[in-house]
Amino acid sequence: MYTEDVMAKRLKKNIVAMIALLMSAVCIWQVSSIALADEEVRYTNGGISLYSSAEYLYYNSRTQLEYNITPGMAPTYIATGEYTNACGAIAGANTIGFFDKYVEDLIPGWQSYFPANGRYKPDDKVYIPAVIAELYTLMRTNVDDVGVSETDFLNGLQEFVEIRDKNITYTSLYSNGTINYAGCKASIDAGKPILVFMDPTDMISISVRDGNDYIMRQSLASAHIALIYGYERIQYILTDNTVRTDTYLIMSTGQISPRVSYLDITTSVDINDAKGVNIY
């Protein structure tokens, strides 16, 4: 039989051991939480649903308050089947194609636009696939996990540009969970596009009809990167005399369909970051 003194000492030791075990578990949880918090979103190319939702917006009047796009719009390249999770490389190729119009030899041997009207050409079968393939490698696509992180995307695009003895700068247009619409407008007005990094959100198309707009939303299946090249703000006076104002950014999606889409930023949207980009 143990004396009361021995039992008390054993109980004390057990309590100390339990406290140490609990503190160790808390430390492990904290380290795991920090690691998860530091882990970057992976951007892939999961495509979109055929149909998500649609809205008929009936109105007494429709006023376009603001609208602008970069000259010639933007390239709308898409991936070939040999590259998986390639939205980073495609968004990068659309960016390179955009600036090839202004910076000589970003794509040697090929012009990304029609000199007669400044509009961008569709994808070709040689030069753009080569750009996508190079960016796919430089961005470390599918290396650490599926797709690319924002960091690897930005670094890979920068490396592509610097290999050609050109310069690239990024300007932050996102803070505190909100995209900077005024900054986006200023960038577009200056003829510079914007890279947007999105969680799964809606691609929007608008059909303008007599007395109503048909607004269709198609949901992205995964986190995605796209190139913004325009903006539009529309004010409606609806048939019940209430006022509604919708604010959109216009983007080259990198998807087979739709190749061009609206991104609704009227309310909270699933955007992780936005960067104005310039190559010179």
Residue 14's pLDDT band, with cuts at 50, 70 and 90, is low
Residues 137-177 have pLDDT tens digits of 999 999 999 999 999 999 999 999 999 999 999 999 999 88
Residue 25's pLDDT band, with cuts at 50, 70 and 90, is very low
Closest-CA residue to 68 (of 171, 210, 192): 192
DSSP character for 125?
A: S
pLDDT > 50? residue 223: yes
| Spatial distance between the Cα atoms of 163 and 149, rounded to a whole number of angstroms | 21
Residue 214, beta-bridge partner list: 56, 207
Got the DSSP string for 242-279? -EEEEEEEEEE--SSS-SEEEEE-SS---EEEEEEEEE
Residues 26-35 have pLDDT tens digits of 333 343 333 3
Mean pLDDT for the chain? 87
Among 49-63, 99-113, 206-220, 222-236, where is mean pLDDT lowest?
49-63
pLDDT > 60? residue 66: yes
HSE-CB of 112 using CA atoms within 13 angstroms: 25
| Spatial distance between the Cα atoms of 116 and 182, rounded to a whole number of angstroms | 32
Closest-CA residue to 178 (of 51, 273, 276, 251): 273
- Identify which has the larger pLDDT, 104 or 65: 65
Token pair, residue 99, equals 């600036």
| Spatial distance between the Cα atoms of 109 and 275, rounded to a whole number of angstroms | 29
- Identify which has the larger pLDDT, 129 or 177: 129
Token pair, residue 236, equals 């409606």
Could you give the 3-state DSSP secondary structure of residue 110? coil
| Spatial distance between the Cα atoms of 107 and 118, rounded to a whole number of angstroms | 16
| Spatial distance between the Cα atoms of 123 and 127, rounded to a whole number of angstroms | 8
| Spatial distance between the Cα atoms of 81 and 105, rounded to a whole number of angstroms | 27
Residue 196, beta-bridge partner list: 226, 274
| Spatial distance between the Cα atoms of 132 and 87, rounded to a whole number of angstroms | 10
| Spatial distance between the Cα atoms of 275 and 176, rounded to a whole number of angstroms | 14
The gap between the terminal CA atoms of the chain, to the nearest Å, is 86
Phi, psi of 103 (to 5 degrees): -120, 115
Residues 99-115 have pLDDT tens digits of 999 998 999 999 999 99
| Spatial distance between the Cα atoms of 6 and 18, rounded to a whole number of angstroms | 18
Residue 234, beta-bridge partner list: 64, 246
Closest-CA residue to 55 (of 222, 220, 244): 244
Closest-CA residue to 223 (of 35, 48, 84, 36): 48
Q: What is the pLDDT of residue 9?
A: 47
DSSP character for 220?
A: B
